């Protein structure tokens, strides 16, 4: 309770008081003595308890501020922000005012369903900084007043001396002051997949990337091996994780293209609907067709009819169904509109490790003397063999290869555990790869360690750039086994092991080894040198790093996913550019990009690889130039990732950004589509993403893009259908009034058409399967309106066609039956049935703007045929059920009436098919894709 009180008190003060010391960005470049001096701390005794409490009150607790979260109420209200929904609410009020309670309730049901689906998918609010809390630790082991004690991590202050141990998380940012085999996995922060070996050595590069600051440790990163100490240099929001939290909070989530387009469509519909209905009311009243109040009722009915009640519901349903399909394809979408936005993506910014690669380090080659030994098999399963020039090698009788394998397994702290088919790697993935390749040769790490017991070691550090372990052989001899940077080991070697035994290492030999090293590195392999030395009894530590016998080189890779290259090729065909943003080194990333075909733009122009240090200080023009000319960004910071996304968006791109770490969160939030990795992704990344890929596979992203394109096409299909049908209803009444005829439809018939024949086919069109060439078209222009001039023209002339055949049937009815009470009712029934059936059949036309309805794809959408059948049954009920005849003011058509209704209903199909045929002939040689 006392600790909680202190934290609360410090927290309240931290909001009102500034930090007492200025933030220092270059702790990694200061000598340790200077670090302790600036922090006013003791390197052995730590802080005094009283001093620590005073600093806590001044600096504030070591906690992260929570982001402003959306309340449940705000999420619910957001579902009603669409202008179309507002228009529907107004239509509901009008219907209630007119006494049309059934219509009003029906519209309300549509609104509630739409809001419910949207709310259910978005209720999980953006908890970016809340998720950041999960990256922090609850307790810390700290030295105060010379004694080690355990305190709440929130009470840590700059200057505290913290004890680090394997299995724990780093409780604050700090400078390493002691390291014994200390390795920290920082992928969540830096994007680098390998655990970093920490050292106390001084760095000189002030602008070095976080992943290169081997003498620093950062809040929330995981200690995988060894032990050490650090002096705290930053806590809370001043840590690297805290700074990312500030970026997340500052990043503004933009409306998706679909949300923007639907908003503009709502504005347009308000103007058009009110204008058209006002003209109809005034025209009918002035011509004396009926009294003003009856004409107003007709006008309001047309207004309700003109508003596409089904649009929000069908849009939401289409997106929700697409969401379910994507979930089956291992892509979970968190926000409905993001489903469609995927179809507009023009650039995918992707991580490398685990997304394009398998995230399983694998030894694939040994360079031994003049030989290259290739190793088959990938991943952490001990399956594979050894080959020279494609011929098998018996590793048990190959002394040189056996020695290299033994060094790799013994000079190693990693363990690979297999339980129930699951593989767990404990330690560095690079060392795990050396264990696995030894197992491929039939070696057992436990047995080998028992045969060659380890007596001492020198852990890897960035200064020596090698690791040494000392073992006693079965005959009692003592050996030092060494692995590390090839250049370092070659410089420390005087001899080499070869086919004829141990020979002198000449300058020519060294040059040849350096060339081999460069050759392997340029093939995107991580290369280590292997060496050993027999030690005398009573050796000293200086003997471990000199007069080595160089054994050879081992090259390992993180294999590419089998489907990655094909997925990137699909993106290229679809007009989508792929950009790699990674924490790995520049040469490795560039080679991976070349292998995958990312290293050129869509026109084949070569693109470069940029290191993060080249991005520092760029102005707006510089950013625009860099994102246009680069395919790979290596060793980048969180700020750089965010700026890359912003620069691409400034160029008009719709950007999808993949990520898994805390460092990716700001860019994920800023991107048009943020895509988090489900397996290795942090909670922060997932909370800020629009979509989560459950298998961390780039190919799943491409599949989601295809679904997004299908969804956008389906939205256009039901828009085509809904708007042309609604427009035909307005035109039918308007044209009849202009001609001077009686009203061809009564108010309830208009409302029936709007609820029955509009909704069911529209829902079915939302389930239309993919067109065969959907991933061979360029992305749609996000600035292009849903209602392009061509699309509006299509709606207008087809609406006129539907209205024309309706008026034709009405004219025939008036001619046959007259315009008195009973005759007009019969004529109105003919018009009503003609328009209803014409709209139902028109759903077949709406499946494609150019492709014929009568192809092999005619029966691919079973839902559409079910909708047609339901509408036909309901229309028959409208004239044959006495109750509906009374409500809708219809009568039973005669046989001759049915012939006229059928002919007029099918005429639009024939006309539209003829127009499509002419269009196909006209564009056949222009390469225009079918919609």
Check pLDDT > 80 for residue 633.
Answer: yes
Among the listed ranges 307-316, 453-462, 751-760, which one has the minimum average pLDDT value? 307-316
Alpha carbon separation from 771 to 80, 147, 709, 763, 791 (Å, rounded): 33, 71, 10, 18, 19
- Whether the CB-CB separation of 883 and 816 falls below 8 Å is answered with no
With respect to residue 56, please indicate whether it lies within any of the assigned structural domains: yes
Domain boundary among 509, 538, 557: 557
Which pLDDT band holds residue 168 (cuts at 50, 70, 90)?
Answer: confident
CA distances to 219, 708, 710 from 673, in Å: 28, 11, 17
Q: How far apart are CA 872 and CA 867, in angstroms?
A: 9
Least confident range from 63-77, 401-415, 440-454: namely 63-77
Span 582-607, average pLDDT: 82
858 domain residue, yes or no: yes
Other CB atoms within a 10 A radius of the CB of residue 534 amount to 12
For residues 401 and 280, state if they share a domain.
Answer: no
pLDDT digits (tens, 9 = 90+) for 27-49: 988 999 999 999 999 988 999 99
Burial of 380 (C-beta count, 10 Å sphere; 0-12/13-18/19+):
buried
Looking at residues 630-650, what average pLDDT do you find?
86
CA 924, distance to chain mean position in Å, is 37
Residue 585 — pLDDT band, cuts 50, 70, 90? Answer: low
Is the domain of 422 the same as that of 521?
A: yes
The reported pLDDT for the residue numbered 373 is 94
- Asked if residue 76 is part of any domain, the answer here is no
**Highest mean pLDDT of the ranges 54-63, 658-667, 835-844:** 835-844
Rounded mean pLDDT of the chain?
80
For the segment 688-711, the average pLDDT, to the nearest whole number, is: 82
Q: Residues 335, 78: contact at Cβ < 8 Å? A: no
* Average pLDDT of span 521-528: 84
- In the prediction, which pLDDT does 127 show? 41
The reply to whether 539 and 460 lie within a common domain is yes
Whether residue 339 is found in the same domain as residue 384: no
Among 2-11, 62-71, 343-352, 440-449, whose mean pLDDT is lowest? 2-11
Residue 365: pLDDT above 90?
A: yes
pLDDT of amino acid 929: 46
What average pLDDT does the segment 806-814 reach? 94
Report the alpha-carbon distance of residue 860 to residue 772 in Å, rounded.
Answer: 12
pLDDT of residue 203: 87
* Residue 873 predicted with pLDDT over 70: yes
CATH of the domain at 192: 2.70.150.10
For residue 22, name the pLDDT band (cuts at 50, 70, 90): very low
Helix, strand, coil percent values for the chain (each to nearest 5): 50, 20, 30
CATH number for the domain spanning 295: value is 1.20.1110.10
Q: What's the rounded Cα separation, in Å, for the pair 840 and 834?
A: 10
Residue 497, pLDDT > 60, answer: yes
How many domains in the chain? 4
Q: Which of 212, 351, 413, 509 is catalytic?
A: 351
Note whether residue 86 is domain-resident.
Answer: no
Q: Specify if 79 maps to a domain.
A: no
Whether 897 is catalytic is: no
Q: Measured between alpha carbons, how far is 153 from 172 in angstroms, rounded to an integer?
A: 8
pLDDT confidence of residue 119: 63
Please give the Cα distance from 586 to 584 (Å, whole number). Answer: 7
Q: Is residue 125 part of a domain?
A: no
**Residue of 85 and 868 predicted with greater confidence:** 868
Residue where one domain finishes, among candidates 203, 220, 244: 244
pLDDT tens for 314-355 read 666 676 677 677 777 777 776 666 766 777 889 999 888 778
| Whether residue 338 sits in one domain with residue 320 | no
Q: Looking at residue 512, what is its pLDDT?
A: 94
Q: Report helix, strand or coil for 331.
A: strand
Q: For 906-922, how does the pLDDT look when each residue is reduced to its tens digit (9 = 90+)?
A: 999 999 999 988 888 87
Higher per-residue pLDDT: 134 or 671: 671
What the block records as the tokens of 8 is 């609360």
- The yes-or-no verdict on residue 144 having pLDDT over 50 is yes
Q: pLDDT at residue 481 above 80? A: yes
Boundary residue ending a domain (663, 680, 703): 703
**Quick one: 719 and 694 in the same domain?**
no
Write out the two tokens for 918.
């002419």
Q: Which two tokens stand for residue 763?
A: 């829902």
Residue 305 and residue 832 in contact, taking contact as beta carbons nearer than 8 Å:
no
Q: How confident is the model at residue 466 (pLDDT cuts 50, 70, 90)?
A: confident
Which residues make beta-bridge pairs with 357?
560
pLDDT at 132 over 70: no
pLDDT of residue 25: 63
Residue 643 has pLDDT above 70, yes or no: yes
pLDDT at 406 over 90: yes
* pLDDT score recorded for residue 801: 95
Statement to judge: residues 634 and 759 lie in one domain: no
> Is residue 375 domain-shared with residue 485, that is, in the same domain?
yes
Q: Is the pLDDT of residue 161 over 80?
A: yes
pLDDT for the residue 582: 80
- Could you give the 3-state DSSP secondary structure of residue 295? helix
The pTM (predicted TM-score) of the whole model is 0.62
Is residue 84 a contact partner of residue 34, using CB atoms and an 8 Å limit?
no
* Phi–psi pair at 242, nearest 5 degrees: -65, -40
Same domain, yes or no, for 188 and 55?
yes
pLDDT at 224 over 80: no
> 529: which residues sit within 8 A by CB, 6+ positions away?
466, 482, 483, 484, 485, 486, 487, 488, 489, 490, 517, 550, 552, 553
Say how far apart CA 10 and CA 152 lie, in whole Å: 14
Q: What is the reported pLDDT for 931? A: 44
* Residue-number span of the structural domain to which 669 is assigned: 333-357+561-703
Per residue in 548-572, pLDDT (tens digit) is: 999 999 998 888 888 888 888 888 8
Indicate whether 436 pLDDT > 90: yes
Together in a domain, 306 and 223: no
Confidence at 21, pLDDT banded by 50, 70, 90: very low
Give the pLDDT of residue 453. Answer: 93
Same domain for 717 and 694: no
Looking at residue 900, its pLDDT comes to: 95
pLDDT digits (tens, 9 = 90+) for 849-865: 888 888 777 888 888 99
Who has greater pLDDT, 894 or 16? 894
Whether residue 479 is found in the same domain as residue 405: yes
> Counting beta carbons within 10 angstroms of the beta carbon of residue 659, is it exposed (0 to 12), middle (13 to 18) or buried (19 or more)?
buried
Residue 5 confidence (pLDDT) above 50: no
C-alpha span between 257 and 268 (Å, rounded): 17
pLDDT of residue 587: 76
Express each pLDDT in 732-788 by its tens digit: 887 887 787 888 887 678 778 876 777 788 888 878 887 777 888 888 776 777 778
Q: How confident is the model at residue 879 (pLDDT cuts 50, 70, 90)?
A: very high
**Of residues 360, 269, 355, 311, the one with CA closest to residue 681:** 355
User: Is the confidence at residue 2, as pLDDT, over 60?
Assistant: no
Query: Is the residue at 930 inside a domain?
Result: no
The count of other CB atoms within 10 Å of the CB of residue 246 is 15
What average pLDDT does this structure show over 639-647?
87
Whether 651 is in a domain gets the answer yes
Q: Residue 664 is part of a domain; what is its CATH number? A: 3.40.50.1000
- Is pLDDT at 440 greater than 90 in this prediction? yes
Supply the pLDDT for residue 18: 37
- What is the mean predicted confidence (pLDDT) over 706-724? 84
pLDDT the model gives residue 88: 62
Highest mean pLDDT among 177-181, 440-444, 664-668: 440-444
The per-residue pLDDT for 893 is: 93
The per-residue DSSP string of 564-583 comes to HHHHHHHHHHTT-EEEEEES
> Residues of the chain with pLDDT > 90: what percent?
27
Instruction: Give the model's confidence band at 718: pLDDT under 50 very low, under 70 low, under 90 confident, else very high.
Output: confident
């Amino acid at each position: 309770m006392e600790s909680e009180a202190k934290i609360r008190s410090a927290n309240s003060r931290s909001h009102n008081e500034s930090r007492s010391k200025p933030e220092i960005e270059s702790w990694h470049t200061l000598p340790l003595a200077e670090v302790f001096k600036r922090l006013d701390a003791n390197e052995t005794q730590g802080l005094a308890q009283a001093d620590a409490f005073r600093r806590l009150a001044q600096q504030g607790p070591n906690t992260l501020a929570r982001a402003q979260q959306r309340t449940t109420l705000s999420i619910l209200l957001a579902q009603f922000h669409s202008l179309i929904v507002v228009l529907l609410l107004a239509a509901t009020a009008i219907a209630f005012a007119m006494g049309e309670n059934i219509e009003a309730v029906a519209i309300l049901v549509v609104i509630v369903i739409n809001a419910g689906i949207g709310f259910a998918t978005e209720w999980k609010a953006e908890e970016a900084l809340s998720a950041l809390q999960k990256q922090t630790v609850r307790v810390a082991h700290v030295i105060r007043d010379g004694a080690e004690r355990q305190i709440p991590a929130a009470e840590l202050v700059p200057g505290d001396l913290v004890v680090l141990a394997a299995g724990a998380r780093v409780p604050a940012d700090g400078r390493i002051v002691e390291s014994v085999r200390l390795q920290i996995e920082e992928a969540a922060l830096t994007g680098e997949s390998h655990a970093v070996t920490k050292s106390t050595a001084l760095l000189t590069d002030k602008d070095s990337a976080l992943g290169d600051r081997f003498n620093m440790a950062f809040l929330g990163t995981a200690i995988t091996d060894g032990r050490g100490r650090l002096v705290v240099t930053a806590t809370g929001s001043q840590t690297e994780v805290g700074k990312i939290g500030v970026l997340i909070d500052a990043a503004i989530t933009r409306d998706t293209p679909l949300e923007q387009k639907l908003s503009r469509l709502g504005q347009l519909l308000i103007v058009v609907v009110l204008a058209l209905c006002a003209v109809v009311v005034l025209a009918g009243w002035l011509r004396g067709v009926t009294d003003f109040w009856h004409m107003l009722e007709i006008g309001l009915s047309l207004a309700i009819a003109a508003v596409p009640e089904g649009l929000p519901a069908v849009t939401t349903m289409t997106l929700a169904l697409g969401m379910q399909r994507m979930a089956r394809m291992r892509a979970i979408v968190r926000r409905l509109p993001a489903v469609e936005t995927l179809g507009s993506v023009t650039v995918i910014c992707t991580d490398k490790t685990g997304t394009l690669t398998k995230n399983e380090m694998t030894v694939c080659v040994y360079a031994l003397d003049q030989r290259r030994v290739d190793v088959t098999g990938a991943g952490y399963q001990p399956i594979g063999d050894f080959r020279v020039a494609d011929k098998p090698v018996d590793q048990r009788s190959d002394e040189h290869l056996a020695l290299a394998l033994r060094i790799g397994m013994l000079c190693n702290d990693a363990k690979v555990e297999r339980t129930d088919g699951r593989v767990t790697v404990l330690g560095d993935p690079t060392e795990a790869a050396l264990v696995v390749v030894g197992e491929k040769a039939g070696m057992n790490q436990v047995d080998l360690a028992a045969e060659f017991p380890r007596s001492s070691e020198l852990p890897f550090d960035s200064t020596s750039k090698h690791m040494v372990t000392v073992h006693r052989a079965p005959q009692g001899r003592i050996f030092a086994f060494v692995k590390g940077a090839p250049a370092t080991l070659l410089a420390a070697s005087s001899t080499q092991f070869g086919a004829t035994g141990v020979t002198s290492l000449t300058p020519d030999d060294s040059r040849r080894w350096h060339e081999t090293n460069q050759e392997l590195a340029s093939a995107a392999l991580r290369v280590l040198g292997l060496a050993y030395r027999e030690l005398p009894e009573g050796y000293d530590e200086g003997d471990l790093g000199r007069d080595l016998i160089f054994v050879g080189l081992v090259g390992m890779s993180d294999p590419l996913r089998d489907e990655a290259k094909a997925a990137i090729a699909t993106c290229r065909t679809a007009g989508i550019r792929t950009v790699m943003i990674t924490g790995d080194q520049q040469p490795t990333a560039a080679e991976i990009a070349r292998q995958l075909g990312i290293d050129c733009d869509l026109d084949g122009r070569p693109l470069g690889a940029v290191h993060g240090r080249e991005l520092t200080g760029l102005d707006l023009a510089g950013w625009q130039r860099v994102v246009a000319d680069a395919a790979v960004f290596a060793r980048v910071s969180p700020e750089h990732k965010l700026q890359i996304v912003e620069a691409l968006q400034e160029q008009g791109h719709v950007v999808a950004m993949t990520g898994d770490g805390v460092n990716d969160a700001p860019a994920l939030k800023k991107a048009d589509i943020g895509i988090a990795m489900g397996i290795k992704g942090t909670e922060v990344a997932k909370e800020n993403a629009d979509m989560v890929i459950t298998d961390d596979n780039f190919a799943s992203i491409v599949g989601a893009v295809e679904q997004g394109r299908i969804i956008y096409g389906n939205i256009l299909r039901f828009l085509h259908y809904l708007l042309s049908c609604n427009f035909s209803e307005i035109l039918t009444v308007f044209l009849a009034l202009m001609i001077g005829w009686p009203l061809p439809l009564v108010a309830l018939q208009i409302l029936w058409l709007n609820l029955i024949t509009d909704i069911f086919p529209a829902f079915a069109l939302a389930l239309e399967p993919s067109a065969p060439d959907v991933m061979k078209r360029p992305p749609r222009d996000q600035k292009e309106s849903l209602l392009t001039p061509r699309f509006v023209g299509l709606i207008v002339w087809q609406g006129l066609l539907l209205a024309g055949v309706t008026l034709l049937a009405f004219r025939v009815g008036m001619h046959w039956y007259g315009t008195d009470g009973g005759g007009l009712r019969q004529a109105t029934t003919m018009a009503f049935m003609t328009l209803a059936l014409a709209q139902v059949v028109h759903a077949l036309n709406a499946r494609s703007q150019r492709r014929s309805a009568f192809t092999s794809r005619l029966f691919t959408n079973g839902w559409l045929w079910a909708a047609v059948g339901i509408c036909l049954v309901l229309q028959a009920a409208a004239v044959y059920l006495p109750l509906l005849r009374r409500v809708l003011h219809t009568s039973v058509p005669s046989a001759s009436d049915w012939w006229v209704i059928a002919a007029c209903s099918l005429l639009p199909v024939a006309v539209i098919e003829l127009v499509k045929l002419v269009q196909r002939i006209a564009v056949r040689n222009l390469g225009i894709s079918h919609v």
